[in-house]
A and B are shown apart, each in its own frame.
Chain A
């Protein structure tokens, strides 16, 4: 609990001053506030809650949920289609496409994305799906890297992620990945920005609470990449990280940077077991 390190006098002062009156705060002895408990009781979300992990889906509005559920309405499916075309498009001097090596993505890519990011010896550090795709391009296809957040890279990422839809997130954080995981974890708990707020303060301590019109979720990554209504476009997880950094008036890191990739591993690990929903729709 955030208040554990305060001297008794200060703690008493705070209780008197109305903290205790905030009755939809977390209840004593449990980590689950009333809002989360209500979601848990709703059979509609049975598939979206695993242990104490809640997919961002349950915090979305019913309209957004419906948009995600219907593949014909879900704008993210257009990115998946872009990716499908890109998958078998030859590029680079080796004269190959992704399909030349990997064949039918529905078979070869099933269950792949849910294990990323992972340690990649060629990089000497983590690779996420976007990095992995670019490695295949430069090493196997002899093609230039695709630009971060470009239509073909988002499309391929969505297409690869889509092959794992419904499978549980299952990243590994031991072995060679461990030091990178530790960095990501440190990032998650570090306050930053003029507002001096860390990821956990919004997404662990206050999931289920509202901050302005926003319904705070646990900040899980199982829906990414996502079609975000606010962006009016499809976008990467690192773009979302950037937004959360800017929210607290912190200087963001570049998309694809080591900092965000390490953070991505920590965030994915927090959601291990949640079913992948990419491409999701979010507010």
Chain B
């Protein structure tokens, strides 16, 4: 299935349809690299290259970047005091999700649960009243997404 942008936006408006989108879709957003979703996973690296796990670990604890630890437990003792619990524990996430599944959950977790509080880290469409300095920018670059995929996949 090949979707135009308008069709993709329409699909995102409805949970069951967005689930269909997650089953197979070719997603293209302005200024972003295209990617393919199949079975709730994005198999291919966004950049075509593997990420750097050590850099991913650093991103996960850096505010203004990934800062994933505000919601997720991860095995990073130096930030234990500021680890939140709004999201599931990711200490062993690499054991239960494939890299492709992890990638989709970082790129756009709303494809799986439309109502999740987790931000989509590689998305610019369909957002409301974004502060001007962040307008039309994804939360993370494709390289950063790949670094996080590499780090999370190493957590077993």
Which residues of A are at the interface with B, using a C-beta cutoff of 8 A?
Answer: 2-3, 5-7, 10, 13-14, 16-19, 21-22, 24, 190-197, 201-202, 205-206, 209-214, 216, 246, 249-252
User: In the complex the two chains form, what is the Cα distance from A197 to B85 in whole Å?
Assistant: 16
In the complex, chain A residues whose CB is within 8 Å of the CB of B130: 192-194, 249-251
Question: Is there contact, CB below 8 Å, between B19 and A2?
Answer: no
| Interface residues in B29-70 (C-beta closer than 8 Å to A) | 40, 67, 69-70
Taking a contact as CB atoms under 8 Å apart, the answer to whether A194 and B93 are in contact is no
Q: From A6, A24, A202, name the one whose CB has the most chain B CB atoms within 10 angstroms.
A: A6
- The A contact surface, by secondary structure, is loop
Could you tell me if B86 and A210 are in contact, using CB atoms closer than 8 angstroms? yes
Q: Please report the C-alpha to C-alpha distance between residue A22 and residue B112 in the assembled complex, in whole angstroms.
A: 18
Distance, CA A194 to CA B112, complexed state (A): 19
Whether B11 sits at the interface, judged by CB under 8 Å, is: no
B115 touching A5, Cβ below 8 Å: yes
Indicate if the CB atoms of A21 and B88 lie closer than 8 Å: yes
Docked CA distance A24–B129 (Å): 32
Rounded to whole Å, the gap between the CB of A140 and the closest CB of chain B is 37
A196-B120 CB under 8 A given contacts A10-B40, A17-B96, A18-B93: yes
Please name the residue on chain A nearest to B111 by beta carbon. A10
| A194 in contact with B114 (CB, 8 Å) | no
Q: Is B129's CB under 8 angstroms from A212's CB?
A: no
Query: Would A6 and B129 be within 8 Å (CB), given that A21-B88, A194-B134, A202-B117 are in contact?
Result: no
User: Does B27 reach chain A (CB closer than 8 Å)?
Assistant: no
**Could you tell me if A206 and B117 are in contact, using CB atoms closer than 8 angstroms?**
yes
Q: Which residue of A lies closest to B127 (CB)?
A: A196
Q: Which partner residue on chain A sits nearest B130 by CB separation? A: A194
Instruction: For A213, list chain B residues within 8 Å (CB).
Output: 81-82
B86 contacts A17, C-beta separation under 8 Å: no
Q: Select A24's contact among B85, B93, B115, B128, beta carbons within 8 Å.
A: B85
**Cα distance, A112 to B139, chains bound together (Å):** 45
B87 vs chain A, min Cβ distance (A):
8
Q: State whether A10 touches B71 (Cβ < 8 A).
A: no
B127-140 interface code vs A (CB 8 A; 1 in, 0 out) = 11111101001010
| Bound-state Cα–Cα, A193 to B132, Å | 10
* Bound complex: CA A217 to CA B86 (Å): 13
Contact present for A7 and B19 (CB under 8 Å): yes
Chain B 100-125, CB-CB to A under 8 Å as 1, else 0, gives 00000000001011111101100000
Q: Smallest Cβ distance from B140 to chain A, in angstroms?
A: 11
Question: In the complex, are the beta carbons of A18 and B89 less than 8 A apart?
Answer: yes
Given contacts A191-B128, A195-B139, A213-B81, contact A5 B119 (CB under 8 A): no
Closest CB-CB distance, B144 to chain A, in whole Å?
A: 14
B113 and A211: CB pair below 8 A? no
Contact B131 A193 (CB under 8 A): yes
A206 (CB) vs chain B CBs: closest residue: B86
* B75 nearest CB across to chain A (Å): 15
